[in-house]
Amino acid sequence: MNNPIAYTKPSITELEIRYVTDAVTHGWGASCYEYIERLEHEFARYLGVNYAVATSSCTGALHLGLAALGIGPGDEVIIADSNWIASVAPVVHLGAKPVFVDILEDSWCLDPSAVERSITANTKAIIAVHLYGNLCQMSELKLLADKYKLLLIEDAAEALGSECHGKKAGSMSDFGVFSFHGTKTMTTGEGGIFVTNNNQLYEQVLTLSNHGRKRGQQKQFWPDELGFKYKMSNIQAALGCAQLERIHEIINRKREILHRYKQLLSHHPEISLNPEPEETFNSAWMPTAVFSTESHITREKLQHAFSSENIDARVFFWPLSHLPMFDQPDESSMSWSICNRAINLPSYFDMTEDDIRRVVSVIEKLMLD
């Protein structure tokens, strides 16, 4: 059997080890928030926003933001059908109703015209998830949000560093959230971050993230309201600070890998990989190959071919509407069509040219069959 090829794994250098060792050795007592504050400050600066709150996960950051905005029972929240469950679970936990809409064929993100058709008197927010590094059409979504007085939220967990007209994903809406899970562009093991330019929203999220204890509350063990416990540890933040210092290096490597796949597969018009439209920058978190309907390449054929070569490739997200907790059958959508004929390709920092060629050769062989 060939050596296994993982689909993602983080790049850890001496810098990460040094910061984490420092945090675990000295980051206690009066220093117990130093790396957290540094990560929040540096991340906000990198993204070009005013405020950031480090959290225990992206799911937690989204839960906090939606709760702070008062999303709850009776509210509808629009989200693309092709997504991971994390982007919608907090909506349901808050008692609001998710409304799933179809994706665009080229970006695999929210179709703005489908969004507009789904707006009702109860719609409160649109969650724009930038899928696999690709960007949602933020200017169209912003127009809709303004026209119908809706909140616009970005789940940018998969698009750290992606840009549209020089603006970073996560910085173009009421608030943005990111994940630092071990599979993401930069990692803190588990972890996430909330970002916004809105001072009031920032203060409310900060309070909610710490069991409702307001910043500056002098009274001990005194929560001002019922909140959540979604804080990041100083040790995780130390890892995050090191990764953020290396963010350009990490993203450049991710882009190189995506570019290499595109080059090696360029003679197959039946295959499309993550797009990078003009005026945008794709940070290439997850190279994804979508096969045309005419190619007759299916998810099952792809999974079988990759696993027999000991390569960990992952399926495209199932439509949320089809998952057992939602169960809204509709098999005509783009979300349903694409997930049947797509695969996520390995793309970790240290993967070699030989590894990339091995991945490509699996696809080449399938195309011949």
In whole angstroms, the minimum distance from the beta carbon of 42 to ligand PLP comes to 19
Site for ligand PLP in 219-278 (CB under 6 A): none
Among 111, 154, 155, 355, binds ligand PLP (CB under 6 A): 155
CA–CA gap between residue 51 and residue 42 (Å, rounded):
10
Q: Is the CB of 164 or the CB of 363 nearer to ligand PLP? A: 164
Q: Are 8 and 347 in contact (CB under 8 A)?
A: yes
Site for ligand PLP in 319-338 (CB under 6 A): none
CA–CA gap between residue 106 and residue 84 (Å, rounded):
19
Name the residue among 13, 18, 8 with its Cα closest to residue 349.
8
Q: Is the CB of 66 or the CB of 129 nearer to ligand PLP? A: 129
Site for ligand PLP in 198-217 (CB under 6 A): none
In whole angstroms, the minimum distance from the beta carbon of 59 to ligand PLP comes to 3
Helix (H) or strand (E) holding 65: helix 58-68
Is residue 37 helix, strand or coil? helix
CA–CA gap between residue 193 and residue 37 (Å, rounded):
12
In whole angstroms, the minimum distance from the beta carbon of 84 to ligand PLP comes to 5
In whole angstroms, the minimum distance from the beta carbon of 140 to ligand PLP comes to 20
Site for ligand PLP in 130-149 (CB under 6 A): none
Q: Residue 231: beta bridge partners?
A: 55
Q: Are 174 and 152 in contact (CB under 8 A)?
A: yes
CA–CA gap between residue 110 and residue 128 (Å, rounded):
7
Q: Is the CB of 76 or the CB of 158 nearer to ligand PLP? A: 158
Compose the 82-121 pattern: x for residues touching ligand PLP by CB under 6 A, - for all others.
--x-xx----------------------------------
Q: Is the CB of 168 or the CB of 358 nearer to ligand PLP? A: 168
Q: Does 179 bind ligand PLP (CB under 6 A)?
A: yes
* Residue indicated by tokens 């940070």: 283
In whole angstroms, the minimum distance from the beta carbon of 181 to ligand PLP comes to 4
Binding residues for ligand PLP, rule CB under 6 A, total: 13
Q: Residue 155: beta bridge partners?
A: 129, 177
Count of other CB atoms within 10 angstroms of residue 18: 12
CA–CA gap between residue 274 and residue 287 (Å, rounded):
6
Single-letter residue type at 259 = H
Q: Which residues bind ligand PLP (CB under 6 A)?
A: 57-59, 84, 86-87, 129, 155, 157-158, 179, 181, 192
